[in-house]
Structure 1
């Protein structure tokens, strides 16, 4: 499983800095070419073993922006 960043993202960058495995990239590195932040599902571990919940969700200032199980 992996987290997903929804279209309500404000591109603040907090999640990128907090991700312990480097699974999140900004729009300039989005492999789909979309103008949005992107989570590499094959890298995302939902912070199991790192935090009690995904670190990106803990620091995100936009409620509902990052969702589980995408």
Structure 2
């Protein structure tokens, strides 16, 4: 898994709604991507603050 959510995450939840596999969930104050991620990058394009990186 190469995608991760950085500390720039504003916890808006947009990525959660975009992920077709449900591989993103709350992890404290921000969100995290699980090992179920297939790197389709839908979440990357949806993040309003570009907090999801390779």
Under TM normalisation by the shorter chain, which class is it?
0.7 to 0.9
- Give aligned pairs, total: 54
Determine if contact 1:25/1:39 at 8 Å carries over to the other structure: yes
Give 1 or 2 for the bigger CA radius of gyration.
1
Report if aligned partners of 2:10, 2:30 keep a CA contact under 8 Å in 1. Answer: no
Q: What's the TM-score once normalised by structure 2's chain length?
A: 0.87
**CA–CA distance in 1 between the matches of 2:48 and 2:29?**
19
Which structure shows the higher strand fraction? 2
TM-score (norm 1): 0.69
Structure 2 gap ranges (5+): none
User: Runs (4+) of structure 1 moved beyond 3 Å?
Assistant: none
Q: Which residue of 2 aligns with 1:51?
A: none
Gaps of at least 5 residues in structure 1 are 48-53
Q: Does 2:30 align with 1:36?
A: yes
